Amino acid sequence: MERWEDHVAVVTGASSGMGAAIFESLALAGFIVIGLARRVNLIQDIIDKQKPDVASRMHAHYCDVRLPESVDTAFEYINSSFGGIDVLINNAGIIRTGNLIDMNLTDIHDTIQTNLFGYIYWSRKAAASLIERNATGHIIQINSVTGFYVPRNVGFSVNAYPISKFGLTALKDVLAEELNLIGNRNIKVTVSVF
Ligand SMILES: NC(=O)c1ccc[n+]([C@@H]2O[C@H](COP(=O)([O-])OP(=O)(O)OC[C@H]3O[C@@H](n4cnc5c(N)ncnc54)[C@H](OP(=O)(O)O)[C@@H]3O)[C@@H](O)[C@H]2O)c1
Ligand SMILES: *[C@@H]1O[C@H](CO)[C@@H](O)[C@H](O)[C@H]1NC(C)=O
Ligand SMILES: *[C@@H]1O[C@H](CO)[C@@H](O)[C@H](O)[C@H]1NC(C)=O
Ligand SMILES: *[C@@H]1O[C@H](CO)[C@@H](O)[C@H](O)[C@H]1NC(C)=O
């Protein structure tokens, strides 16, 4: 518990589901934790349910992970208010219905921009922040079994979703290799699969 006191964790997609649960758990474990999403009011509701000492470590901030400018703005807030990122939980993800062959192209763009580009943008921020401070930290990519195989015979198509999630499997290895190339042993990159 003491180990993480004053350490800064960032959770993308903290307004619902797994991200909301991780946001809360990290605060309970002693982290200063910044929850990001578009529905900031839902993140604030989670904060308002906590005991005051836990709530005081929790912060809600707007970010649309599809947009690099939105990531820049949220990162500048985190960097100037809390001094950087020690732990990143890349979690914000979406799935859309339809067949890749003929579904609305906007839904394909949204899926890949959220699930893949969003992870890339935030990984770059966390890596830069850790490297510039020579800090010990962790970048965690919440992936899916569909990052390793495409489900067959389930009666519907998961369209662009596994395409984005396969990308995350490579993203983790690329980051680890780039850290290896610069001799950085302080940053761990892992992937969680559900
Ligand atoms: N649920 C499963 O069975 C399952 C299985 C395998 C993997 N996963 C993965 O686990 C992660 C979390 O899934 P979940 O089921 O907990 O999701 P969820 O309940 O649907 O929540 C998705 C979160 O992502 C955020 N989000 C979506 N688009 C965003 C954007 N453009 N910018 C910022 N935030 C955005 C949402 O916030 P706003 O809408 O407020 O922005 C929300 O907080 C995802 O990466 C998902 O692919 C889930
Ligand atoms: C695709 O979806 C977007 C956003 O929902 C919508 O604005 C657009 O009109 C749709 N395009 C087509 C061809 O249906
Ligand atoms: C974080 O802020 C410091 C102090 O202003 C600055 O030197 C540094 O470049 C910023 N980090 C990143 C990754 O932008
Ligand atoms: C960075 O941190 C590691 C271990 O924490 C240490 O061994 C190394 O000397 C540090 N590098 C610099 C340039 O301070």
d(CA 183, CA 194): 31
The minimum-distance atom of ligand 4 relative to the CA of 134 is 1
Give the closest residue (by CA) to ligand 2 atom 11: 104
pLDDT tens column, 106-118: 999 999 999 999 9
Can you give the pTM of this predicted structure?
A: 0.96
The minimum-distance atom of ligand 1 relative to the CA of 39 is 40
Domains of the chain in start order, with CATH, are 2-193 (3.40.50.720)
DSSP for 23-90, written as a single string:
HHHHHHTT-EEEEEES-HHHHHHHHHTS-HHHHTTEEEEE--TT-HHHHHHHHHHHHHHHSS-SEEEE
Instruction: Answer whether 113 contacts ligand 1 (Cβ < 6 A).
Output: no
pLDDT attached to residue 99 = 98
Give yes or no for residue 1 having a pLDDT over 70: no
Instruction: Answer whether 132 contacts ligand 4 (Cβ < 6 A).
Output: no
> What average pLDDT does range 119-124 have in this prediction?
98
pLDDT tens column, 126-161: 999 999 999 999 999 999 999 999 999 999 999 999
Give yes or no for residue 2 having a pLDDT over 80: no
What is the distance in A from the centroid of ligand 3 to the CA of 80? 8
pLDDT attached to residue 123 = 98
Instruction: Answer whether 92 contacts ligand 1 (Cβ < 6 A).
Output: yes
Give yes or no for residue 194 having a pLDDT over 80: no
Kindly state the percentage of the chain with pLDDT values over 90.
95
Mean pLDDT over the full length of the chain = 96
Instruction: Give the confidence band of 5 by pLDDT, cuts at 50, 70, 90.
Output: confident
> What average pLDDT does range 30-53 have in this prediction?
98
Instruction: Answer whether 16 contacts ligand 1 (Cβ < 6 A).
Output: yes
Instruction: Give the confidence band of 192 by pLDDT, cuts at 50, 70, 90.
Output: confident
- Catalytic residue list: 161
What is the distance in A from the centroid of ligand 2 to the CA of 106? 6
What is the distance in A from the centroid of ligand 4 to the CA of 133? 10
Q: Please, are residues 175 and 123 in contact by the beta-carbon 8 Å criterion?
A: yes
The ligand placed nearest to the CA atom of residue 104 is 2
Burial of 92-124, coded b for 16+ CB within 10 Å and e otherwise, reads bbbbbeeeeeebeeebbeebbbbbbbbbbbbbe
What is the distance in A from the centroid of ligand 2 to the CA of 114? 17
pLDDT tens column, 45-103: 999 999 999 999 999 999 999 999 999 999 999 999 999 999 999 999 999 999 999 99
Helices (H) and strands (E) in the chain, counts: 7, 6
Q: Residue 187 carries which DSSP code?
A: E
pLDDT attached to residue 23 = 98
